Amino acid sequence: MSTMRTLGEFVVENQHHFPHASGELSSLLGSIKLAAKIVNREINKAGLVDITGAVGAENIQGEEQQKLDLYANDKFKAALEARDQVCGVASEEEDEAVAFNKDLNKNAKYVVLMDPLDGSSNIDVNVSVGTIFSIYRRVSPIGSAPTQEDFLQPGHKQVAAGYIIYGSSTMLVYTTGNGVHGFTYDPSLGVFCLSHESMMIPKLGTIYSINEGNYIRFPTGIKKYIKYCQENVPEEHRPYTSRYIGSLVADFHRNLLKGGIYLYPSTESHPNGKLRLLYECNPIAFLMEQAGGKASDGKNRILDLKPTELHQRVPFVVGSPAMVDKVESFLEQYPE
């Protein structure tokens, strides 16, 4: 019988893959793990206490903020600031990056970018939601406050990334550039236990995930790909199945395990797409590439894009590599 390994034990065992961190990654992930437990507890109370619904305000993207958005944002910020590894955070729920001003935080080497509660509008109907996080080494001098340049780094500079999915079970999935590993939360013990080591996505899947309600607004190449999935897939690969939850973490997690593709392309009303490059697409792309998949804006590798603003949006295609290649070929053939 194999010995159960916790997230903390696994990180320590594999610190040789992350030599410049000298134990700091373990502490940083410990902060994320703690906040995830607190948020998980509140999510599981949804419907029993007054934690669901909107707060009557919008974030900088013009999206209605949910009570749990703000709650999760506060808990992750507090957990990251409480330890000395992070000098600042950028969040979907903050207009600007937040600098931690304690002296010890100023001496920290890392910044964290996050979507504290992806898919939070689904809480009210008991659908899986998640947290997405991305970790970079700062480029500004240690001992000073973080600058905008610390956060506007291309995705290939990430030192770690991951997500927590709050569903039928709660899982934390992360990478430091040496594979993708998943840990399932055992609430009876209060620990995340290794359950999915070295996760890999099949080269070709049979699931496509896209909001087909926006079909008439999609570029021609995306429309052609959807018709291909519905009608023209080679016989040996049929049938393709449409599965769309509307929570990026939930859709991505399913496709990672089973094989498939997730698409959030540009539309007439959102020519740059709706997903944010820095704290949604980059971390998901890092995970997908480490799992043997591919992530693209339809033409370019996501991790090579140079950010220009904190809340920058990009079209997003991510999943099994053969499926992403097929989408790119349609977009190249039908560029309008």
- Specify the pLDDT at position 1: 40
- Specify the pLDDT at position 48: 46
More confident residue, 15 or 228: 228
Distance in angstroms (rounded) separating the CA atoms of residues 219 and 221? 6
The pTM is what?
0.94
Residue 45 pLDDT class (50, 70, 90 cuts)? confident
Residue 87, SS3 per DSSP: strand
- Is residue 186 annotated as involved in ligand binding? no
Burial 293-314 (b: 16+ CB within 10 A, else e): bbbbbbeeebbebebeebbbbb
| Per-residue pLDDT at 17 exceeds 90 | no
Q: Which of 165, 224, 124 is nearest to 40 (CA)?
A: 165
Half-sphere exposure (CA, 13 Å, Cβ side) for 105? 20
- Is residue 110 annotated as involved in ligand binding? no
Residue 49 pLDDT class (50, 70, 90 cuts)? very low
- Is residue 211 annotated as involved in ligand binding? yes
155 DSSP 8-state letter: G
- Is residue 263 annotated as involved in ligand binding? yes
More confident residue, 259 or 122: 259
- Is residue 278 annotated as involved in ligand binding? no
- CB under 8 Å, gap of 24 or more: what pairs does 79-83 form? 79/31, 79/32, 79/34, 79/35, 79/38, 80/28, 80/31, 80/32, 80/35, 80/112, 81/105, 82/31, 83/27, 83/28, 83/30, 83/31
7-16 average pLDDT score: 87
| Per-residue pLDDT at 78 exceeds 90 | yes
146-155 average pLDDT score: 97
Residue 80 pLDDT class (50, 70, 90 cuts)? very high
- Is residue 279 annotated as involved in ligand binding? no
**Mean of pLDDT over the chain:** 91
Whether domain 207-333 has CATH 3.40.190.80: yes
- Specify the pLDDT at position 22: 62
Residue 280, SS3 per DSSP: helix
- Is residue 244 annotated as involved in ligand binding? yes
Distance in angstroms (rounded) separating the CA atoms of residues 282 and 270? 19
- Is residue 103 annotated as involved in ligand binding? no
- Of 28-42, 112-126, 280-294, give the range with the top mean pLDDT: 280-294
Give the tens place of pLDDT for each residue, 280-312.
999 999 999 999 999 999 999 999 999 999 999
Give the tens place of pLDDT for each residue, 180-191.
999 999 999 999
Q: Cite the DSSP H helix spans in the chain.
A: 7-13, 24-43, 67-82, 103-106, 148-151, 220-227, 248-258, 282-290, 321-333
Q: Which of 295, 305, 289 is nearest to 327 (CA)?
A: 295
Lowest mean pLDDT among 19-23, 84-88, 246-250, 264-268: 19-23
Q: Which fold has domain 7-196?
A: Fructose-1,6-Bisphosphatase; Chain A, domain 1 (3.30.540)
Residue 63 pLDDT class (50, 70, 90 cuts)? low
- Is residue 117 annotated as involved in ligand binding? yes
**Tokens at residue 317, please?**
């295609």
Q: Which of 200, 176, 149 is nearest to 286 (CA)?
A: 176
- Of 24-33, 97-106, 158-167, give the range with the top mean pLDDT: 158-167
Report domain extents, the chain: 7-196, 207-333
Q: How far is CA 300 from the centre of its chain?
A: 19
6-33 average pLDDT score: 84
Burial class (CB in 10 A: 0-12, 13-18, 19+), 271: exposed
- Is residue 121 annotated as involved in ligand binding? yes
248-258 and 282-290 helices, crossing angle to 10°: 10
Give the tens place of pLDDT for each residue, 190-242.
999 999 999 999 999 999 999 999 999 999 999 999 999 999 888 888 889 99
Residue 3, SS3 per DSSP: coil
- Is residue 71 annotated as involved in ligand binding? no
| Per-residue pLDDT at 326 exceeds 80 | yes
